[in-house]
Homo-oligomer: A and B are copies of this chain.
Amino acid sequence: MENDLNVVGQRLPMHDAAAKANGTAVFTDDLVFPGMLHGKILRSPYAHAKILNIDTSKALKLPGVKGVVTGRDIPDRLYGIVPKARDEYALAKGKVRYIGDEVAAVCATNLETAEEAIELIEVTYEELPAVFDPLDAIKEGAPLVHDDTPNNISLSINKQFGNVEKAFAESDFVFEDSFYSQPVNHAPMEPHAAVAQYDSQRGEVTLWSSTQIPFFLRRNLSNTLQIPESKVRVIKPKVGGGFGQKIDMFAKDFCAAWFAMKLLKPVKFVYEREELFIATRQRHPMHLTVKTGVKKDGTILAQKFKAYADGGAYNSTAPTMIALSCYFLMIPYHVPNLVYEGHHVYTNKPVGGAMRGHGIPQARFAVERQLDLICERINLDPAEIRMKNSIHAGESHPAKFIINSCGFYDSVKMAADAIGWKEKRGKLPFGRGVGLAGASFPSGVSNMSHISSGSVVQLGRDGAVNVLSGAADIGQGAETVISQIVAEVLGVPMEDIRITAADTGVTPLDSGTFGSGVTVRAGNAARVAAIAARDKLFDFVAKELEANPEDLMARNREIFVKGSPARKMSMKDAIKGYQYADLPMPIVGRASWFPPATEPTTLFKEDGNFAPSYSFMTQSAEVEVDPHTGKVKLLKMATAHDCGKPINPMLVEGQLEGSVVGGMGQALYEDVIVEKGQVMNASLLEYGFPTFMEMPEIEALEVITDDPIGPFGAKEAGEGTQLSPAPAIVNAIYDAIGVDFMELPITPEKILKALEKKA
């Protein structure tokens, strides 16, 4: 009994599920302050143009308009997540680089007036030649998106492990194939929003924002507004999804703060859905060529990659994206020799940014598709080749990754079994098929700023446990998982935990929600802080019970002596007793946690252990292709995910199911269609996400490993599963109709054309 877990490992609903369902949860747009003003952003109608003049006089004269700001007015400070790759102004200075680029902003007493006013701003542009294709953009003489970036290549990575040419020479077969992965939009349910309030006396701006990383936003606001970081407070209300799109600072954040400071009134900016499509972030479209050398038995000897990522007009998280795209080619398979040449290319299009998987799904699509192509060419079984090349825990790794736990081999087996691989693969009637694909993801990447995740746990005399965490729950359930961890440590039920998360004015430093690290980083911080608070109580209780503190444990709101549970004291009595002692003290535990990992992300130079742990997963799909309509129906997807020991299996399943839907959209439906820089389908209706009508049967399989670093053995579950549903589906389409698709998405048109061609 003493080693059982009571709260961790339980299928508990998210702690704010009811509030979100009944509408009482407060999102940024729900905030209302006295005298609040409303803002609206004027965006560029040109893909590439010089701004010759901006005349704001008519807008300023409109009754109700309180202010207008343009790029001229703001400090000369670039922003961006990665300091070395900053290339963006909150409002364009001098020129615009894509349709949607921010030109000016208006603040007015109501939204209607603000909307009317932006139409009254007269901007004189000089249109410039634009470039829309990354392969065109790198050509000599192409228009330069940023004048200081020749060939429009903003970032390149060239990594070499082992000796690829030698290994190719030793291979039985060498294959080269090219692939393309399209741009897709995150489309969080909640549009981006910001509300700012300024305290003119302390010189402090408070920003409520739908952000994934409050502390990064604080830094970027501090830099762009040119006020000290200590004078910026960022509060994250409920956030309705992010998927990476809410990692960056946006013009709405800057402009809300700017106007609040200038006008001494609260200011709200909320983006419309169209703005989310054209002017936030999207998954990078990527052109990838893969050359792979294998032995006859399928053993991979070497791989060589060339990748061009279409970044659109700005860098955003490009350095991280390109690094992840590269490094995660060496996992989950043994690839002893590898070359990766990757380029991030500017075009006059919407900006690429972090998105669930972040650079890896594109590369994974190429690798996992090519593995199936290879199997077809040399007559191997796609499941077998994956198991054969699987890496295992404890093995040494060419890029110096440290694999503490690894369930990949098992995940292939489980996913294959779940889809009926042996009975079905190659044996189903025309139009039906199965496929699978594998992947691995970092469980909490290291990061760029030595930012640890901190936690403060306070025990109150009322019996409530107040947890302060900087972790940013954006809907994934981080607060629930952290609460479970603290409840487990303190031996109290989940309902006793009250968590305050992500207010930089109250909660300790945290690195935010990215890289699937919240459970690992903030979870570990909360775990250690809870232990610190518990230890204070244990010291007190040990004296009272005449026991050693080490012999105590907490369970069911009681603290008792291990092995003699009759010697006990209730948690409440312990807290009271502690506080009635000589000097009644708040019982506060504090901790911080920093991933034991190095930082190849920023440097690209030295290799090292990218993440404290790695998750592993395999997806298997069964599809039905209608040869008459070209429509693909995903019948079932099984996802076998090694996320260590899950803290909350229900939330893990939610993550896996969400990832399946995301991957399915990427494979079959989604594509941000851009013509001459103009997004042609910038609405939920036109963009065409999969809906409940398209849902497959989803079987979520847990591959349980016990990770030594994650809290209670847990690893990431938020992103990894998004990496391989698309290739699994495309591989299944091959099994169904015998067509090899190399570009995403596989639309009915493409199916029909391919079938026609085949016939």
Contact = CB atoms under 8 A, between A and B. Distances in A.
Given A201-B16, A592-B585, A452 B579 contact: yes
A457 to B, nearest CB: 10
Nearest to A265: B24
A447 to B, nearest CB: 13
Interface string A370-409: 0000000000000000000000000000000000000000
Given A23-B34, A24-B35, A456-B456, A505 B498 contact: yes
Given A464-B230, A592-B586, A22 B505 contact: no
Interface string A698-728: 0000000000000000000000000000000
A450 interface: yes
Contact of A264 (B24, B454, B505, B585): B24
A565 interface: no
Contacts of A591: 585-586
A340 interface: no
B509 A17 contact: no
A18 interface: yes
B588 A588 contact: yes
Given A33-B24, A34-B30, A458 B508 contact: yes
A87 B329 CA distance: 73
A26 B454 CA distance: 29
A460 B509 contact: yes
Contacts of A506: 466, 468, 500, 506
Interface stretch (A53-61, A192-200, A433-441, A664-672): A192-200
A580 interface: yes
A266 B25 CA distance: 10
A582 to B, nearest CB: 10
Contact of A505 (B464, B496, B580): B464
A202 interface: yes
Contacts of A468: 506
Nearest to A201: B18
A463 B229 contact: yes
A464 B233 CA distance: 10
Contacts of A198: 24
A636 interface: no
Interface in A92-134: none
Interface residues of A, number: 67
A117 to B, nearest CB: 23
A684 interface: no
Contacts of A496: 230
Contacts of A26: 33-34
Nearest to A454: B586
Nearest to A204: B498
Contacts of A588: 456, 508, 588, 590
A469 to B, nearest CB: 11
A694 to B, nearest CB: 31
Interface in A219-251: 222, 228-233
A554 B266 CA distance: 36
Nearest to A22: B264
Contacts of A19: 199-201
A83 interface: no
Nearest to A13: B201
Number of copies of chain A assembled together: 2
Contacts of A35: 23-24
B460 A230 contact: yes
A2 interface: no
A583 interface: yes
Query: Counting chain B CB atoms within 10 Å of each CB, which of A198, A450, A508 scores highest?
Result: A508
Interface string A25-45: 010001011110000000000
A218 interface: yes
Interface in A299-314: none
A735 to B, nearest CB: 44
A291 interface: no
Contact of A18 (B199, B460, B463, B579): B199
Interface string A177-213: 0000000000000000000011111111000000000
A500 B506 CA distance: 7
A410 B22 CA distance: 64
A583 B529 CA distance: 13
A204 B465 CA distance: 13
B202 A586 contact: no
Interface in A417-455: 450, 452, 454-455
Contacts of A229: 462-464
A251 to B, nearest CB: 23
A227 to B, nearest CB: 11
A86 interface: no
A594 interface: yes
Interface string A482-525: 00000000000001101010001110110000000000000000
Contacts of A264: 22, 24
A709 to B, nearest CB: 14
A263 to B, nearest CB: 10
Contacts of A233: 498
Contacts of A13: 201
A631 interface: no
Nearest to A505: B498
A509 B500 CA distance: 17
Nearest to A18: B201
B508 A500 contact: no
A461 interface: yes
Contacts of A18: 199-201
A584 interface: yes
A754 B200 CA distance: 54
A534 to B, nearest CB: 15
A645 interface: no
- The residue among A15, A452, A458 with the most chain B CB atoms within 10 A of its own CB is A458
Given A23-B35, A24-B266, A464-B505, 5 more contacts: A18-B199, A19-B200, A229-B462, A452-B584, A586-B591
Interface of A: 13, 15-19, 22-24, 26, 30, 32-35, 197-204, 218, 222, 228-233, 264-266, 450, 452, 454-456, 458, 460-464, 466, 468, 495-496, 498, 500, 504-506, 508-509, 579-580, 583-586, 588, 590-592, 594
**Ranked 9 nearest A-B pairs via Cβ:** A230-B464, A18-B201, A229-B462, A32-B32, A508-B586, A230-B463, A454-B586, A452-B584, A588-B590
23 contacts: A13-B201, A15-B202, A16-B201, A17-B201, A19-B200, A23-B35, A24-B33, A24-B266, A26-B33, A26-B34, A218-B462, A228-B462, A229-B464, A230-B463, A230-B464, A454-B585, A455-B586, A460-B509, A466-B505, A508-B586, A509-B579, A586-B590, A588-B588
